Each structure stands twice: as C-alpha cells, then as structure tokens.
Amino acid sequence: MATQAAFGWRLIMAAMKIRFTKMQGAGNDFVVLDETQGRFGLEPAHYRFLADRHFGVGADQILSVRAPTPEDAAAGIAFGYVIHNADGGEVENCGNGARCFARYVHERGLTQDNPVRVRTASGVLSLAVQPDGRVTVDMGAPVFELARVPFEPGARTPMVVGSWQMWPLDLKENRPMAGANCDSDALIHVAVLSMGNPHAVLRVDDVARAEVEVLGPCIEHHPAFLRRVNAGFMQVVDRSNIRLRVFERGAGETLACGTGACAAVVAGIRLGWLDSRVDVRTRGGRLTIEWSGRLEDSVHMTGPAVTVFEGEIELPEHPAGPDAP
C-alpha cells in the first residue's frame, strides 16, 4: 500500500470541497471523482492528499470521470477516463478501476450504454456490466514492442522460453532510491509487455513467500524501464489458475492489479505455461482473464466492482502533513 511517508504532500491552492465516491475492485481501491460537469483543476498534490490513508480518503488510484471530446462523443465514446496513482502521477491504464468506472457511471445514470466505451490515455476500453454486477472489460490487445512498453534492453540478451522470451535484470543496476535495498545479487528474469501501461512479470514458486516488498521497488525503478514499471509476481498453480501479487508503479503493493493480472496471463500463455482462460487469485479477490494467444486479439478481464461509500472532503489550503514542522 502507498504510505504517507513515501509520498509526502503539501497543498497550495485555496480550500475547496469536493464530492467523491470510494470504490474497490478485488480490494484495489479508488477515489472516484465526477468531473463530467467541469474539472476540479486538481494538481498532483491533491491526488496524493486524496489517496493518503491517514490524512485523506485513502486509495491506490484516483479515477476521474470526464466528458468526452466532441470527436469522441461523435464516435460513440461516452467518457474520458483519467487515472492518477497514489503518488500523484497520471498513468495510462487501470483495469480494476475500469470495472469500477463502469459501475459508477451506470449507478449514477450518467449513461445507459452497456457496454460503455471510454477513452484512457492509452486508448479506448469497452466496459460491460454483467447481470450479476461483475464487469467484463475489453482491455484491447497487449503490446509487445519493447520501445512501446517502454523498455530499453541495451546489451541484454533475452532467455528464450517456449516461443517467447524473458529479459535478465540485474537489480543492482537500479538507480539509488530511498528505502529500497537493491543490493541483492539476484539476477531475475522478467517477461516485459504493456497493457497500455508497463508490466514486468516474474515467475515465483510461492507468492506468499515472494519478496514483493524488497524486489518490487527495485524492479519498479530499474533504469531499463524508461517510465518505471508495475512488477508482477506470478505463481503458476496449473494451466488455468495462477496466484498473483503486484507491486504497482506509484502505489506500492496493492491487493489486486487488473492490468497486472492481464499481463501475467498473457505472459504465461506466450511462455507456454497457461491456457487461454485463467483464474487469477489475488490477495483481494479473483479475476478471470481470457486471451486467445493471437497477438492482435483483445484481452478480456472479468471481476467485481463495488461502491464502498460516498462523501465530501475539503482539500485544505495548508494541511499539516508529515513534512510540515
């Protein structure tokens, strides 16, 4: 989970009250903001404040629901879907958030569309609410082109596994970062791909004993990943079941990561370990991922999305924070 100490915040604008909805999908939790009638004009410090579990609401990500551009509206794209990590950075995609987004816009009557199409920074997602309340997301096709992850292999040579490859990472190459011990001699091998956002997937024997908190930050900040990376730790149970923990870029380990589940299953299929429909058990719940294995085909993710509570919060002008005297 994101910690206040790790992110530290100070707000600089005049006090303002905003309404929010707290949601979760398999325990990956979100503050959802309705900006369809106009933007709140939030800065990274505001997102960090909202995500803060002690001084704010508490969330792994902040999701903003925005009106579509006129061009998107004409093309049947109903909303803009903007995502900020707990560290305040804007990111390209969030799978568990997409399911919550679909429930949110339906529960509030913002659209009747089902599936509803939304634009993220990385493309268009199609979100279908099922009769049982779960949501299936067409996540689009995975991206394997390294430059688009973006991943810079340098002089590394990949290890060939099945009909694909895994890349060696020397964790000592990590640029120095506070609080992380990246002196480990471990040379790990990761599958590298993008689900709109960057992922490195590592196979482990037992996720319960994986050193997620130690290795996660070292992988996230490894210099070969030019925009950092989400680090997935996958235990293959059998060809249709995996256990997964993800150390998320900009949020730390979360109870589940939707794009991480898609990335792990896609990697497992390409590496020859998994079949095309896989149940992913995370610490916060179960997701089902389906992919044909054809490179151009979309990945489909099905899982829960739940509203936890609604509220109003004042974004204070000068909040007392951990970096205040």
Q: Which residues are annotated as a binding site for substrate?
A: 28, 61, 85, 95-96, 197, 230, 248-249, 258-259
Residue 218 appears among annotated catalytic residues: no
List the x/- string, 13-32, binding to ligand LBFN2T5F by CB under 6 A: ---------------x----
Task: Specify the residue for token string 């082109």.
Answer: 145
The tokens of 201 are what?
Answer: 């997937």
When the beta carbons of 113 and 248 are compared against ligand LBFN2T5F, the nearer one is 248
Q: How far is the CB of 28 from ligand LBFN2T5F (least distance, A)?
A: 5
When the beta carbons of 68 and 258 are compared against ligand LBFN2T5F, the nearer one is 258
SS3 40: coil
Inter-residue long-range contacts of 165-171, CB under 8 Å, 24+ positions, other chains counted: 165/191, 166/190, 166/191, 166/271, 167/191, 167/192, 167/224, 169/200, 169/219, 169/222, 169/224, 171/215, 171/218, 171/219, 171/222
Is 282 a binder of ligand LBFN2T5F (CB under 6 A)? no
Q: How far apart are CA 195 and CA 301, in angstroms?
A: 12
Total interface residues for ligand LBFN2T5F by CB under 6 A:
19
Select which of 100, 218, 257, 262 is catalytic. Answer: 257
Q: How far is the CB of 98 from ligand LBFN2T5F (least distance, A)?
A: 8
Task: Specify the residue for token string 């979360």.
Answer: 254
Among 85, 120, 174, 282, interactor with ligand LBFN2T5F by CB under 6 A: 85
C-alpha closest to that of 12 among 45, 39, 40, 57: 45
Number of helices and strands (H, E) in the chain? 6, 19
Tell me how crowded residue 163 is: count the other CB atoms within 10 A of its CB. Answer: 9
Residue 257 appears among annotated catalytic residues: yes
Is 88 a binder of ligand LBFN2T5F (CB under 6 A)? no
Q: How far is the CB of 217 from ligand LBFN2T5F (least distance, A)?
A: 13
Choices 169-177, 248-256, 277-285, 287-295; region in contact with ligand LBFN2T5F by CB under 6 A = 248-256
Among 140, 232, 250, 252, interactor with ligand LBFN2T5F by CB under 6 A: 250
Select which of 94, 182, 218, 262 is catalytic. Answer: 94
SS3 263: helix
Q: How far is the CB of 99 from ligand LBFN2T5F (least distance, A)?
A: 9
Q: How far apart are CA 189 and CA 226, in angstroms?
A: 18
Is 122 a binder of ligand LBFN2T5F (CB under 6 A)? no
Task: Report the sign of the C-alpha dihedral through residues 140, 141, 142, 146, in that order.
Answer: negative
C-alpha closest to that of 230 among 256, 204, 269, 268: 256
Q: How far is the CB of 145 from ligand LBFN2T5F (least distance, A)?
A: 17
Known catalytic residues?
A: 94, 257
Question: Which stretches of the chain bind ligand LBFN2T5F, using CB under 6 A?
Answer: 28, 60-61, 85, 91, 94-97, 197, 230, 248-251, 254, 257-259
